[in-house]
Structures are given as structure tokens and as C-alpha cells.
């Protein structure tokens, strides 16, 4: 039986937590882990940690407690724990007994800020989630200066201060005491990369198999997944980062892998998604729901066939950093702006719309799309009425579309009117399928 089939509200679990969280741990969790794992996984991790202060050590509990306390169903709980496992904050075990449905959640402390930023997968994933400005802000807050130069350590050793006598009855304790068990970073397996093929490629080079420690192999697996590198690509990277005297330089290996990726793909940011987000949506309604789950950085990669311009990346970064709009709203905005500007993405135009939508409080792709449909309905109604009535002064447009209308030829512009046209309530509201331009746009983007 698969372990997840054993997960039910009345399934028992134990929390294994031999250490505690310090103030530094909470700072790293809030600043670096939360943007990556999301609020549900974050809440589960903290709840499990804090709950051990109430329950006895290794107390047997039921999953229904987690469902009630965190307002989660089992499906949501399982997906959140998957993220905690993948990022290295939780290890999950199940009982080997056939009729004993028991889970053990072993909690690990987060990496230090230094280890987190130097981990290529975690740092790049964080960058793709928050953008360059917030990434640098977080990094600056967690940097601590080096020791002053020109100093000499004069710390005394233990034996210089304390005298100890031998006692034949004394034995060193071997029990398992409380201790800090730190995360080892993202959960990757060495089996995720074919090292046999790599070693075949390396025959005849100066790179010896003895250079490949477990730590180096793990780094290669991370880089291969992060930058989509195969065994031949890794060979080229290793040739630039290995010396016969000192072996493989880890920092140089990361730098050369990034250079190799940029040579192949330009300045495109590697995209990340969970298995759930990677599923392509089908149907109009599902398409909009899918946009709510996709990062704008991933979306601009899709729209530009993974070759966005420097301006594209600048616009997306500005949207993420300077607005509080949700992903789905930003994704609809990007598609709409590209359509209205014939493939271009002007920063001022996009930011004007974004500021208007933020004031309106749009939270989902469906709400943003509906605002476009309502605007087009109103424009169509105004055009229809002008066919039968003297138009006099023309209509007044929203601020976020003035830039487009201001660039029309002077003879096509209309003078502003004071009265807003009244919508025809009898006319049926357009849906996603009714709008040909936007439907064609969606079909086009769906092919990318």
C-alpha cells in the first residue's frame, strides 16, 4: 500500500523534534523560506514545532488535530508537507508494520542565511519568486561584516585553564540527547543525474573520478536540474572549473554553470513550478485559474518563447516589486498589454494599468479579465449609441488607456463628454468565448 493511501483523519502521527528554533532561525524562515514554500506549508511547520511544547515527547496524535487547528483538508496538508520535504525542513517516515498506520514527522532546523544563499537551487528559486530588488534587500539585511583585519587570536585552550583528574568509574554517556538537526537543503537524489554517462564523457580529460565527493556530486545534481544541463553540458562546465592540483572548485563550478546557461538561453531566469503548477490547464475557465498559479516571471518566459528582452524582465520585476497585485492579475495584464501594444511592453503604460487595478482591488485573473470585458462592453455600447444620436463630445476613457488613445490620429479623437453612457442591461454580458480578439490571444499563448 502506498504511504499516502494510509493518510486519513484518524491516522496517528508523532513529531520528532530534538532541537529548538532560535530568533535567527525565525528570521531566516520568515525572510527566505516563506516566499518559496507558501503560507500553508509555513504554518504547518511552525505549528508542529510549537505544539511539541504542549505535548509530551513523541506523543501519539491524530491528523484530525492538524485539519481542525489549521483549517486544512488532507489533500492540502499532503501538498504542503511535500513542499516541506522537498526543501529539506521535514523528513517523513511511516511504520513498516502492515496494520500500524503511523507517520513520523522529523523536523529539521532551517539552513543559516549563509548556507541558504550559497545553495544554488534555493537562492535561484527565491530570486525567481521575489525578483531582483527584494532578493537583494533580503540578502543585505542578513549580511554580517567580517572580523577586523590585522588581529591575532589569543584565546586560551581548555587545558590552559581547567585541571581535570581521571576517574576510572566515569563513562562517556551514549544516550541520544536533545540536539540541533539542521536541514541539508533541497531534497535531491544522486540518482537524478547519470554519473556513469558523465564519467564516460570525461575519459581522456584531466578530471579524475576521485574529485567527485558526495558533496560535489550533490552540487552537480542541483546544477543540472537548475540550469537544465545534461552530462555533456556538465563536462564542459567541469573543464572550466577543475584543476589537477586542487580538484573541482565548487564556487567556480556554480559560476561556470550559470555562464553556460546564459550562453545557451541568454539572460532568461530559470523557471520553477510545482508538479501541480506544471499541469497545463484546459478550457477557458481553467486557463484563467491556471494564470493565478503561475509566476509572472514564468509567464513572460512562456509568452516570449523563453527569450524575453531585458525590458520584459525589467517590467515584470517592477510589477512584482512595486505593486501588491497577485500573480493572476499580473499575468492577465502582461497578456493584455502585449496585445494592445502590438507585442511591445511599455513600462509606463503597464504600470499605469497596474496602479488602477490595484486601486480597484482585483485579486484574481478572472476579476482582471472581467474588468477588460466590462470596459469593452461599455465601449461597444457607446459606439452603438453614436450611430443613432449626435455624439457631441466623445467619451472619457480610464486613465490606464489614455496613453493608447492619445496616440491615435487627431481626426479620430473625440472630445470628452460629461455624462457616462448607460449600459444596456437587456444585452447579454460577453463571456470569455464571446470575445474573438482575446480568445485568439489565449489560443496563441496556449501554443507557446
Give me 232's grid cell: 555533456
Residue from 198, 247, 246 nearest 220 by CA: 198
What pLDDT sits at residue 412?
43
Q: Are 396 and 417 in contact (CB under 8 A)?
A: yes
* 139 is a domain residue: no
Chain segment 160-208, per-residue pLDDT in tens: 777 666 666 656 666 665 555 555 556 667 777 888 888 887 887 878 8
Which residues have CB under 8 Å from 356's CB, separation 6+?
398, 399, 400
Residue from 292, 282, 312 nearest 300 by CA: 312
Note whether 336 and 305 are same-domain residues.
yes
Q: What's the chain's length in residues?
A: 448
Note whether 358 and 405 are same-domain residues.
yes
What pLDDT sits at residue 104?
92
- Which strand (E) or helix (H) includes residue 121? helix 120-142
The answer, yes or no, to whether residue 152 has pLDDT greater than 80, is yes
Note whether 261 and 325 are same-domain residues.
no
Average pLDDT estimate for 339-346 = 84
What pLDDT sits at residue 287?
73
* Rounded Cα distance, 112 and 109, in Å: 9
Domain boundary among 234, 265, 296: 265
Give me 292's grid cell: 493565478
What pLDDT sits at residue 265?
64
* 135 is a domain residue: no
* 131 is a domain residue: no
Note whether 334 and 377 are same-domain residues.
yes
Domain count, the chain: 3
The answer, yes or no, to whether residue 142 has pLDDT greater than 60, is yes
Note whether 194 and 248 are same-domain residues.
yes
The answer, yes or no, to whether residue 218 has pLDDT greater than 50, is yes
The CATH number of the domain holding residue 51 is 1.10.10
User: What is this structure's pTM?
Assistant: 0.44
Note whether 218 and 323 are same-domain residues.
no
* 155 is a domain residue: no
Note whether 261 and 302 are same-domain residues.
no
Of residues 9 and 381, the one with the higher pLDDT is 9
Chain segment 65-85, per-residue pLDDT in tens: 998 898 888 888 999 999 999
* 300 is a domain residue: yes
Average pLDDT estimate for 226-247 = 82
Alpha helical stretches, state H, 240-395: 250-265, 275-278, 284-293, 296-303, 310-322, 327-340, 347-360, 365-386
Note whether 246 and 300 are same-domain residues.
no
Note whether 247 and 328 are same-domain residues.
no
* 118 is a domain residue: no
Note whether 247 and 321 are same-domain residues.
no
Note whether 234 and 314 are same-domain residues.
no
* 416 is a domain residue: yes
Domain boundary among 222, 239, 265: 265
Residue from 44, 115, 126, 136 nearest 82 by CA: 44
Domain of 230?
190-265
What pLDDT sits at residue 207?
82
* 330 is a domain residue: yes
Note whether 260 and 287 are same-domain residues.
no
Amino acid at each position: 500500500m502506498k504511504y499516502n493511501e494510509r493518510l486519513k483523519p484518524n491516522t496517528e502521527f508523532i513529531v520528532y523534534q530534538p532541537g529548538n528554533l532560535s530568533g535567527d532561525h525565525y528570521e531566516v524562515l520568515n525572510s527566505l523560506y516563506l516566499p518559496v514554500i507558501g503560507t500553508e506549508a509555513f504554518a504547518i511547520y511552525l505549528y508542529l514545532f510549537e505544539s511539541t511544547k504542549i505535548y509530551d515527547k513523541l506523543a501519539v496524535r491524530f491528523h484530525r488535530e492538524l485539519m481542525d487547528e489549521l483549517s486544512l483538508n488532507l489533500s492540502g496538508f499532503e501538498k504542503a508537507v511535500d513542499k516541506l520535504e522537498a526543501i529539506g525542513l521535514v523528513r517523513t517516515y511511516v511504520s513498516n508494520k502492515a496494520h500500524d498506520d503511523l507517520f513520523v514527522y522529523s523536523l529539521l532546523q532551517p539552513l543559516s542565511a549563509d548556507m541558504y544563499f550559497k545553495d544554488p537551487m534555493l537562492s535561484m528559486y527565491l530570486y525567481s519568486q521575489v525578483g531582483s530588488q527584494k532578493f537583494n534587500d533580503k540578502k543585505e539585511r542578513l549580511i554580517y561584516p567580517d572580523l577586523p583585519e590585522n588581529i591575532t587570536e589569543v584565546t586560551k585552550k581548555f587545558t590552559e585553564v581547567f585541571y581535570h583528574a581521571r576517574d576510572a568509574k566515569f563513562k562517556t554517556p551514549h544516550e541520544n540527547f536533545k540536539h540541533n538537526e539542521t536541514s541539508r537543503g533541497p531534497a535531491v537524489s544522486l540518482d537524478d543525474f547519470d554519473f556513469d554517462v558523465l564519467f564516460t564523457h570525461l575519459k581522456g580529460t584531466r578530471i579524475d573520478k576521485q574529485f567527485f565527493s558526495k558533496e560535489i556530486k550533490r552540487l552537480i545534481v542541483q546544477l543540472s536540474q537548475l540550469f537544465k544541463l545534461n552530462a555533456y553540458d556538465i563536462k564542459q562546465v567541469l573543464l572550466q572549473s577543475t584543476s589537477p592540483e586542487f580538484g573541482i572548485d565548487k564556487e567556480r563550478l556554480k559560476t561556470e554553470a550559470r555562464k553556460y546557461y546564459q550562453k545557451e538561453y541568454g539572460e532568461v531566469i530559470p523557471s520553477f513550478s510545482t508538479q501541480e503548477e506544471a499541469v497545463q490547464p484546459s478550457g477557458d475557465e481553467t486557463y484563467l485559474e491556471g494564470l493565478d498559479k503561475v509566476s509572472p516571471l514564468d509567464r513572460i518566459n512562456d509568452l516570449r518563447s523563453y527569450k524575453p528582452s531585458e525590458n520584459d524582465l525589467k517590467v515584470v520585476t517592477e510589477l512584482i516589486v512595486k505593486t501588491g497585485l497577485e500573480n493572476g492579475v499580473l499575468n492577465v495584464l502582461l497578456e493584455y498589454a502585449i496585445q494592445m501594444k502590438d507585442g511591445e511592453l511599455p513600462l509606463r503604460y503597464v504600470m499605469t494599468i497596474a496602479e488602477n487595478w490595484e486601486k480597484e482591488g482585483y485579486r484574481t485573473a478572472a476579476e482582471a479579465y472581467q474588468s477588460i470585458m466590462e470596459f469593452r462592453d461599455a465601449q461597444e455600447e457607446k459606439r452603438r449609441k453614436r450611430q443613432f444620436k449626435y455624439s457631441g463630445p466623445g467619451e472619457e476613457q480610464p486613465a490606464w488607456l489614455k496613453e493608447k488613445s492619445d496616440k491615435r490620429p487627431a481626426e479620430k479623437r473625440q472630445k470628452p463628454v460629461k455624462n457616462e453612457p448607460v449600459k444596456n442591461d437587456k444585452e447579454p454580458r460577453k463571456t470569455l468565448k464571446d470575445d474573438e480578439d482575446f480568445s485568439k490571444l489565449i489560443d496563441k499563448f496556449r501554443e507557446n
